[in-house]
Amino acid sequence: MYIWTEVARTGISAGDEIILLRKNDLYEIRYNGMELMCSSCHQSEDFLAEKALRLLGRPARKVLIGGLGLGYTLRMVLNFLDDDAQVVVSEIVPEIVHWNRHYFGHLAGNPLDDPRVEVRVEDVRHTLDNGREAYDVVLMDTDNGPEHLVRTENGDIYRECGIRAVERALTPGGIAAFWSSELSPAFEKRLDVLPWTWRCDSVPLSGGRVDAFHHVYLASRDAANLHYPRVVGASTAMTTMSERNAGASLPRPPEDGSHLLRVRRA
């Protein structure tokens, strides 16, 4: 029987504490005692990157990732890029970068060692607001998404000003994707404000998780990018779709988990 043991910890502003734990070959990061990420469950992080890059319809030249985490999103991005492409990763906690390099980077194939990767230890809003780069794909995997933030400061990227900054940073036909631990009607209303099409895919999790689904919001000014039948890994019987035009109401998904796709067309 294995138990979680502490590997490292760090403190940040306002007395908050981040702890890295290990149990056999598993790693987990907790923020103030709450699980933030675990190496046993990264299907939705893989989906975040893979779906956006496949939908782009062209080779991505430059990708921005907000949040390094355990490195799985970055690894999936690298799997799709040409040798001369570039990935910018904005991670606000320097210790997360250090832990990737020294403790668990091997789990995702040591993605930080790839020469295509540039890590910036800063808030992703700073990257967006102070840079002139344009990105084919922008992936947001910060905190828990727009709901139930463990750090309130991380909510800025999910407000209208943050979403607009993401939209401005996209190349023509580019795609933005936002990871979320829960569906967020408030975030969906903010997405509606921008002149783009968005949809949400719910990704089923394995391993008996009580939160049976995580969610990925995808958005693009090119509506054709988001036309596809269903989420990867979902059975046909479990797949439904609801559509709306601007201003129409969007029904809430059934609590039995049968609702897996949501789409809004501009």
> Which whole number is the average pLDDT over 217-223?
94
Nearest to 33 by CA among 16, 50, 47, 45: 16
Mean pLDDT of the chain: 83
In the chain, what are the domain boundaries?
41-264
Nearest to 219 by CA among 137, 158, 123: 137
Among 30-34, 127-131, 188-192, name the one with the lowest average pLDDT. 30-34
Q: Which two tokens stand for residue 102?
A: 């020294």
Interior/surface letters 50-66, b for 16+ CB within 10 angstroms, e for the rest: bbbbebbeeebebbbbb
Q: How far is CA 71 from CA 20, 38, 46, 111, 168, in A?
A: 14, 11, 10, 7, 26
Q: Which two tokens stand for residue 230?
A: 């269903």
Separation of alpha carbons 242 and 261, rounded Å: 7
Among 46-55, 172-181, 196-205, 247-256, name the one with the lowest average pLDDT. 247-256
> Which whole number is the average pLDDT over 215-225?
92
> CATH second-level architecture of 41-264?
3-Layer(aba) Sandwich (3.40)
pLDDT given for residue 205 in this prediction: 79
Nearest to 92 by CA among 138, 133, 46, 140: 140
Instruction: Read off φ and ψ for residue 8, nearest 5 degrees.
Output: -160, 160
Nearest to 67 by CA among 43, 95, 91: 91
For β-strands 86-90 and 62-66, DSSP reports them as: parallel
pLDDT given for residue 14 in this prediction: 67
pLDDT given for residue 34 in this prediction: 80
pLDDT, tens only, 240-264: 222 222 222 323 333 433 334 555 5
pLDDT, tens only, 142-185: 888 898 887 777 789 999 999 999 999 999 999 999 999 899 99
